[in-house]
Amino acid sequence: MADPIRFFFDFTSTFSYIAIHKIDDLAARYGREVDWIAVSLGHLFQAQGITPPPMIPAKFNYLKVDFPRSCAFADLPCTFPDPFPPDVKLARYTFLC
């Protein structure tokens, strides 16, 4: 069998939300397993001194247009959590345990 697809995702990422719903079907189509790896983009941004995109007004305004459009294209429901970005520490810890 082929090596698994190493799938890195973050619970707060809008791009991860879409990919999470597609990765298993994609892997099955090619006879691959998925190695799910949760990451914290917030910590990665902080370590690199990068401002997260939702904290930059122009990028967040674009995200509010792009995310619903991308969800519609992927045939997925789209709702921004309130507050955004949500606190996902518990979800990440639960996934990792």
pLDDT confidence of 95, banded at 50, 70, 90? confident
Positions marked catalytic? 13
Give the pLDDT mean for 46-73. 94
Which CATH class name applies to 5-96? alpha beta
Cβ(8)–Cβ(39) under 8 Å?
yes
Cβ(80)–Cβ(74) under 8 Å?
no
b/e per residue, 72-96, with b = 16+ CB within 10 A?
A: eeeeeeeeeeeeebeebeeebeeee
Give the pLDDT mean for 30-45. 93
Give the pLDDT mean for 74-96. 86
What value does the CA radius of gyration of the chain take, rounded to a whole number of Å? 15
| Domain-wise residue ranges, the chain | 5-96
CA dist 31 and 76 (Å) reads 24
Q: List phi, psi (to 5°) of 45.
A: -60, -45
